[in-house]
Copies of this chain bind each other. A is one copy, B any other.
């Protein structure tokens, strides 16, 4: 999956000795242990005036927003014809816990984790939630040390690369139809034809007609649904079928 591990490791190495990097991998369980040890040190009279280390949560807070921003921009620029709903769906897929945890593991972020004894015994370094957390806190550390461009490069090698070919998972018929016709200088128009009430529960159904022009020819299909957008999807699905351009869904 990750073809460019060497490049990624180089980016990681470039900030490995910084305070932000260290903080990015400190789990609270480790910090709590450290404090306990300090307390017993000070009780036994030894001095320890080092500032307490912070755990990764605040970096994770910042990293989450950095990751979201870069991912949104990536989607907005790569798929300018997507509807907002598709953009959101794709983003959700790209920044969800399982994705980040998977990437974190692939690129070896887990090995830097500082866990307390209990968390270590609990196999904390393999927990999806913790692995996803440190992906975000690492992104924040990278941003604070090296700036926006390097973050973009890092995400390009990880999250964005991972998303290749996943676009189908958020695909829908309306967008497919739109893109197909647009590429052929045609057009797609939806028109609300009416509503009807069905069933004992007097459910309202929307009836929509789509006018499809794929360049050389024009044809019409209709769809019904409990919302206008569902009716449009149905009409678009019929048109996509008629054009014989149905994509496989994964």
A67 to chain B, nearest CB (A): 9
For A85, the closest partner residue in chain B by CB is B57
Main SS of chain A's interface residues?
helix
Q: Is A198 an interface residue (CB 8 A)?
A: no
Contacts A39-B189, A189-B35, A191-B36; is A84 near B58 (CB within 8 Å)? yes
> Is A69's beta carbon under 8 Å from chain B?
yes
Give 13 new A-B contacts, CB below 8 A, not counting A35-B189, A58-B84, A68-B68: A35-B191, A38-B189, A39-B191, A58-B76, A58-B80, A58-B83, A61-B72, A61-B76, A62-B73, A65-B65, A65-B69, A66-B69, A68-B69
Copies in the complex: 2
Q: In the complex, which residues 30-77 of chain A have their Cβ closer than 8 Å to any Cβ of chain B?
A: 35-36, 38-39, 57-58, 60-62, 64-66, 68-69, 71-73, 76
| A191-220 near B? 1/0 per residue, CB < 8 Å | 100000000000000000001000000000
| B73 engages A58 (CB within 8 Å) | no
Partner among B58, B64, B190 whose Cβ is within 8 Å of the Cβ of A82: B58
Which chain B residues border A84 with CB–CB below 8 Å?
Answer: 57-58, 60-61
Q: State whether the Cβ of A8 lies closer than 8 Å to any Cβ in chain B.
A: no
Any B CB within 8 A of the CB of A88: yes
Known: A189-B35, A191-B36. A72 touches B65 (CB 8 A): yes
Closest residue of B by beta carbon distance from A80: B58
Q: Kindly identify which residue among B66, B73, B83 contacts A57, using a CB–CB cutoff of 8 Å.
A: B83
**Could you list which residues of chain A lie within 8 angstroms of chain B, going by C-beta atoms?**
35-36, 38-39, 57-58, 60-62, 64-66, 68-69, 71-73, 76, 80, 82-84, 87-88, 148, 189-191, 211
Contact among B35, B60, B65, B88 with A61 in the assembled complex (CB-CB below 8 Å): B88
Q: Taking each of A76, A80, A87, which has the highest tally of chain B beta carbons within 10 Å of its own beta carbon?
A: A76
Q: Evaluate contact between A62 and B76: CB separation under 8 angstroms.
A: yes
Cα of A39 to Cα of B87 in the assembled complex, Å: 28
- Evaluate contact between B39 and A61: CB separation under 8 angstroms: no
- Smallest beta-carbon distance A144→chain B, Å: 9
Inter-chain contacts of A68 with B (CB < 8 A):
65, 68-69
Q: Is the CB of B69 within 8 A of A87?
A: no
- Given the complex, which residues of B lie within 8 Å of A36, measured CB to CB? 191
